[in-house]
Chains A and B, each alone.
Chain A
Amino acid sequence: MLIEIKNLYKNYFMDDVEVEALKAINLQIKQNEYVAIMGPSGSGKSTLMNILGCLDTPTQGQYLFRNQDVSTLDDDSLSAMRNKEIGFVFQNFNLLSRMSAAYNVEMPLMYAGIHKNERRERALKALDRVGLADRVEHKPSELSGGQRQRVAIARALVSNPGILLADEPTGALDTKTGDEIMLLFHKLHEEGNTIILITHEQEIANFAHRTIHIRDGMIHSDSPNDPILVKQKMSSLILR
């Protein structure tokens, strides 16, 4: 079992009010699953994503990653988790605009202490995997939205993380480009990666093989997507 969340609660303070963002969350995710987490805004899906991505720790309960309880880790250890096991992909890409694509992709490896030559090699490989081998020295401002997201995905992949955690990855892209990115995720899933997609769009959630609905801080439903529908969706995409 890759991820196990047991009886998890998360509270935080907004001004002086204590907000219960997540209540009694239980879920499990296996290796190579493709999961979508859906919910309206305010449902707690972002909070859940932060906890899954080790950006935050639960108030109560356990978060086991590869059977290790990460809920009680200190700041440095959490940073190490994010560095090695979590590959973030954000809606607005979150690249460093003054650095080249290659540099952006190398960054997690820099923080892992990997040597320059190896970093470079791995970054170039990752960029190749997402189809940007010919844009490695371009800065984000010289790339289209779709290309920027690919760079972000390459950066997420470069340290061979346990999960790819994508937060509305197509939110800033037009439909056509968005489809290209979802195709890329499909390919990465086929290659063995575990993908967790956070979205509020049904269309996007339909690309995944399992959907978890969150509402008011609790899991409302958690069920596999109809495999035929998924297949249909993918074929139509590939044909387009």
Chain B
Amino acid sequence: MQFEENIRVAIRGLIEHKFRSFLTMLGIIFGVASVIAMLSIGEGAKRSAIAKYKDLGVNNIIVRDKQFTDEELEEVRAKFSQGLSLNDAKVIQEIIPGVTKVACQAELTTDVKQADKSARSTIIGITPEYIQLLNIELEKGTFINEDHYNRSLKVCVLGAGVAKTLFQHMNPLGKMVKVDDQWFEVVGLMKSKTLFTETVGELASRDMNTDIYVPLSTYKSRFTQENSLSSEVQQITVQVDDSGKLLEIAELIKGVLQRHHFNNEDYSVVIPFELLKQEEKEREIYNFLLGAIAAISLLVGGIGIMNIMLATVMERTREIGIRRAIGARKSDIMSQFVTEAVAISITGGVIGVILGVSLSLSITFLTDIDTYIRAYSVIIAFGFSVLVGISFGYLPAKNAANLKPVDSIRYE
């Protein structure tokens, strides 16, 4: 019951000195807002990183054909390497333990036409294992499967971007598109994918919405290489059963390819999982810094509160004397002033939460940086503000409680 009274008196005090209370709260407001903004930026970064790597497959090792100039290619061919091939994939699958599946893809960029519409697209010829290795999300229809592959059917699956350009909002399934100079039937439509704009390791960034998938068998028979020196496939994706073995298996793959390519390093081996871990580590340092800033501002905020409370106690010496004279115990005075300090810090905390959340949302809205607000960050930030109030209100409250009633009641 007296708790209620304390709160009422505390709030009344806050309202009476609005400006002063606000200044006192600034440190807390800033501290809490920055904790929330920082945690949400961190969470957003983590999520987009995970999404990014999910597309590449966390249990995958990606072997990529290196982009060489024609001279370099000639050199490498002269040294007996044919570049990445289906055979490489076969060997990797058969020899290396811990490898579950292997998929190959060949790529070429060309125009795709439908009626009067045209789009520039990357045609990707794939083996049927593809769907099991990589994050394929279909909007409609089916993906390239074994049947398509075995029968070298002229079927394709459109990326969301290509489909939109060629078909607008019409259903593309069953329709024909002209890929390069060949007609293909559309059997599937991909869901729209978020771009990842940074390169991942040596994988160049790409807008996967402009991809079109066709069976590799069809690709080989229907499309002629522009460049006769090009490798048979541009990428081999290898899936392993245990992500703990990724580094080990990557070394084995490098060994196999070294032998089969006669020591020509015309490929690169990328482990998305390792890159993800590295990014996480870098982020940790960043997060730690931001956390330190947030902690410091909360500390400064707390000191501000303590400062004001100390002055307030001085100001109200006589009031404290009166309360003691009519029967308040030391603990009553303590709880009164701690409550006042906590009232300031909680109010600051609430404003800080609102500010922090708005800040995070505006950041996402105005820039490319993703943020993601989780309930726990709000709770933590708020909890800290309460803690600050209690800790920094303690000393002034103790001072107030220890004032001698005899003296303080005569204080002018």
Contacts and interface: CB of A to CB of B under 8 A. Distances in A.
**Chain A bound to chain B:** yes
Interface of A: 50, 53, 55-56, 75-76, 79-80, 82-84, 88, 90, 94-96, 98, 107-108, 110-113, 115-116, 155, 159
A111 B406 contact: no
A228 to B, nearest CB: 37
Given A107-B326, A108-B327, A55 B405 contact: yes
A111 B332 contact: yes
Given A56-B406, A98-B12, A88 B319 contact: no
Contacts of B406: 50, 55-56
B2 A111 contact: yes
B248 interface: no
Interface of B: 1-2, 5, 12, 16, 318-319, 321-332, 405-406, 409
A116 B1 contact: yes
Contact of B327 (A50, A82, A90): A82
A111 B1 contact: no
Nearest to A108: B326
Given A56-B406, A94-B409, A98-B16, A113 B2 contact: yes
B330 A75 contact: yes
Given A55-B405, A56-B406, A111 B326 contact: yes
Contacts of B409: 55, 90, 94
A76 B329 contact: yes
Given A55-B406, A98-B12, A82 B325 contact: yes
A111 B330 contact: no
Contacts of A90: 409
Contact of A94 (B2, B322, B327, B332): B322
B329 to A, nearest CB: 4
Nearest to B405: A55
Contact of B325 (A55, A80, A113): A55
14 contacts: A53-B325, A55-B325, A55-B409, A76-B329, A76-B330, A79-B324, A79-B327, A83-B326, A83-B328, A94-B321, A94-B409, A96-B319, A111-B326, A115-B1
Contacts of B5: 110
